[in-house]
Amino acid sequence: MTTKITIDVTGMTCDGCEGHVGDALSAAGLEDLEVDWRRGFASGTDAGSFDVAKAEESLDGSNYEIVSVTTLGTEPKDEATASGDDDYDLLILGSGSAAFAAAIKAKDLGATVAIVEKGTIGGTCVNIGCVPSKALLRPAELYYQAGHSPFAGVETSSGEIDLHALITSKDELVGVLRQEKYANLLDVYDIDLIKGTAKFTGPNSVEVDGRLVTAGRFLISTGASSWVPPIDGLDTTGYLTSTTALELTELPAELIVVGANAIGLELGQLFAHLGTKVTWVEALDRIAPFEEPEISGIMRGHLKSEGASVHEGAMAQRAGRDGDRVWLEIEKDGRTTRLEADKLLMATGRRANTKSLGLDVAGVETDPRGAVIVDAGLATSNPAVWAAGDVTTTPQFVYVAAAAGNIAAENALRDAGRTIDFRTMPRVTFTTPSIASVGLTEQAARDAGLPVMTSILPLEAVPRALVNRDTTGAVKLVADESTGELLGAHVLAEGAGDVIQAAVVAMNYHATVDEIAAMFHPYLTMAEALKLAAQTFNKDVKNLSCCAA
C-alpha cells in the first residue's frame, strides 16, 4: 500500500535546488517525486520505506530545511467535527486573498474545497483596495511632479485631467487582475464556487441561501468594510468612503478627509496631487499616528508645503450640507471650528464583516469590534472553525491575509501546528514620499523593557535623495543597546516600501546594526540609507566620503 506524502521545504531558490532536495528525498525512500522551488513544496508516494530523519540528515548543513511533513488522507484529530459524508473537506466563507491562499493550500494537501461568495469574487485588495488605489496614486504622483520639476534647466508642465478616463483605466486593470488572479484559479485548482450568503446554523453547519453545505472544517475569511464613527448629522450629509472615493469621475475643488492614518493619507494626497485643496482631520495627536513621531512631523510639514491643511487632535462633532457644499464642525482644545468643502471623505478605519454570519450560534468568539478572535495558529473558539484575513484580530494587510490563509488551511486539515509570527511584518503607506516600517518603534521597545538606542538619518545625508533634488524624509533605526540587534526600522522616503525589505531580512536573521553597516549597499540607491543610518550609531556620516565604510 502506498501513501501520498507532501513536504514543505524552505531554502529553495532555483531549479537546481529542486534537484538537490529531490535527491535527498529519493534517497530517503520517497518515490514519484514532484518538487517546486517557487512554492517551497515537494510531494511523492511512500511504499513504506520513507524515513524523514534520513531526509533531514541528507539536507543537514545545506540551506534547505524540512518544516512540515504531511501524510495525505490523515483524519483531523478532532473526529467529532469531521465526517466522510461531508460535501467538502474545507468550506471557505469569502473569496479574497486569505480565501484563495487557503483554498490553494488545501488543494495541495489533496482536500476538496469550496468557496462561498455573495458578491464580487476577489475580495478587498483587487476590487476596492490595494490595486485600484495604487493604480490611481501613481498617475496622480506623476501629474503633480510634471507641474513641480525640481531640476534646473528642465521645464515641465501638467495639462488637463480626464478623471473619467483615469477611472476607466483603473477599472480595466482591476477587471484583468480579478480574472487572472482569482476567477481563473477556480478551474486551475478545481475549487468549487458557491454563490450566495453563508450563515452558520450551528457549530458544524452552514447554510448558503437556505441550502445546507456540510464540511469537515470551515474557514471564515469574509474581510472588512469601511467604518465611520457616530457623528451628528453625518448620515444625512452624504460622504465618501475609501470605496466610493475611487469611483469619482469629477474632481472636487475642496475635500475634507477625516482620518490621517494610511488610507486617509493615501487617498487625500491622491486628490491633492490632482489639484484638490485637501484638509485632513485626525482625532489622535498626530497624523500617521502609529509611526515614529519624527516621521509624522516631517510628513505633516510636507503636506502643508503642498498646500494642504492639517488638524491634529481634533474631534469631528457635527456634519451637514448647505446646497452643494458640505460642512464639518471639529473641536480641538475646547474650541470649535467649522470646515467647508465640496466633498467629505471618511477614512476612519475598517470593521470585520461578521454581523450576518451567525457566529453566536457557531460558538465563534469575536472582540468588541466584531473581529474574529484567533490564536497564533488562526484557530477560533470553535474547534471546527478557523479564520484568516481582515475579518480577524490580525493586522489588516493583504500579505498577512495570504500567509494566514495558507497556515490556517494546513492547521485545519492536518493539525500541522503552524503559527504566524508578526515580528518582522512590514507595513507601507503609499504616500509621496512613502512611509514604511518594520518591527518596534522606540516607544514600543521601551515599553517592552528593552535597552534601546536609536539613530535618525535625515535624507539630506543620502546621496540618492540629493541627486533626486528631493530630501524630504528620514530613516530611524531602533536597536538593542546591549546587543546591537536591530529591533525596528522606519523609513520616510521615495521607494520606502522597497527599502524596508532589506530591514525585514536583516531582522529575520537577527542582524546587528554593525553587521548592517558592514554589508555592501549599492551607491546612489535609497537602500544605502539603511547603511548610513546604521553607521550613524557610531559615526557622523556627514564627515564620510562617498561609500566610506
pLDDT at 86: 87
| One domain, residues 14 and 50 | yes
Question: How many domains does the chain contain in total?
Answer: 4
* Per-residue pLDDT tens digits for 172-213: 999 999 999 999 999 999 999 999 999 999 999 999 999 999
Q: Label residue 74 by pLDDT band (50, 70, 90).
A: very low
Mean pLDDT of 8-20: 80
Residues 93 and 204 in one domain: yes
Pick from 477, 480, 489, 484: nearest CA to 449 = 480
Over 90: is that where the pLDDT of 141 sits? yes
Element containing residue 312 per DSSP (H, E)? strand 309-312
Q: What is the pLDDT of residues 315-373, one digit of tens each?
A: 999 999 999 999 999 999 999 999 999 999 999 999 999 999 999 999 999 999 999 99
Q: What is the CATH number of the domain that holds 527?
A: 3.30.390.30
CB contact at 8 A, 230 and 103:
no
**Are 281 and 152 members of one domain?**
no
* pLDDT tens, residue by residue, 114-140: 999 999 999 999 999 999 999 999 999
Same domain assignment for residues 397 and 493 = no
* Same domain, yes or no: 534 and 481: yes
The domain spanning residue 139 has which CATH number? 3.50.50.60
Among 7-21, 82-96, 133-147, which range has the highest average pLDDT?
Answer: 133-147
- C-alpha 300/C-alpha 193 separation (Å) is 46
Task: Say if residue 490 is in the same domain as residue 370.
Answer: no
Asked whether the predicted pLDDT for residue 2 surpasses 70, the reply is no
211 and 86 part of one domain: yes
pLDDT score at 39: 58
What 3-state class would DSSP assign to 545? coil
Is 69's pLDDT higher than 60? Answer: yes
Helix, coil or strand: residue 533: helix
Give the end of a domain, one of 52, 71, 90. 71
Residue 86 forms part of a structural domain: yes
Look up the CATH number of the domain holding residue 60. Answer: 3.30.70.100
Among candidate residues 48, 71, 94, the one where a domain is terminated? 71
Residues 365, 270 share a domain: no
Q: Are 10 and 40 in contact (CB under 8 A)?
A: yes
In the sheet with 325-332, reading across from the earlier edge strand, the strands are 315-322, 325-332, 335-341
Based on the fold, state whether residues 137 and 180 are members of the same structural domain.
yes
- Domain assignment present for residue 420? The answer is no
- Identify each DSSP E strand in 315-409 by its residue range: 315-322, 325-332, 335-341, 343-346, 350-352, 385-387
Q: Which domain holds residue 9?
A: 3-71
Round to whole Å and give the CA distance between 464 and 455: 19
pLDDT in the model for residue 60: 83
504 assigned to some structural domain: yes
pLDDT bracket for residue 7 (50, 70, 90) = confident
Confidence (pLDDT) at 77: 35
Domain end call among 297, 316, 348: 348
Mean pLDDT of 269-286: 98
- Rounded to two decimals, the pTM is 0.84
Give the pLDDT of residue 83: 44
Residue 549 located in a structural domain: no
pLDDT (mean) for 407-416: 96
Mean pLDDT score across all residues of the chain: 93
Does residue 218 share a domain with residue 359? Answer: yes
| Residue 383, C-alpha cell as written in the block | 474547534
Give the orientation angle of helix 262-274 with respect to helix 130-146, to 10 degrees: 40
Same domain, 193 and 118: yes
The verdict on 89 and 208 lying in the same domain is yes
Query: What is the three-state SS of 83-132?
Result: CCCCCEEEEEECCCHHHHHHHHHHHHCCCCEEEEECCCCCHHHHHCCHHH
pLDDT of residue 84: 57
> Which grid cell is 84?
466522510
Q: Does some domain include residue 419?
A: no
Residues whose CB is less than 8 angstroms from the CB of residue 179 and which lie 6 or more positions away in sequence, other chains included: none
Identify the residue with better confidence: 295 or 64. 295
Measured in degrees and rounded to the nearest 5, phi and psi for residue 66 equal: -80, 120
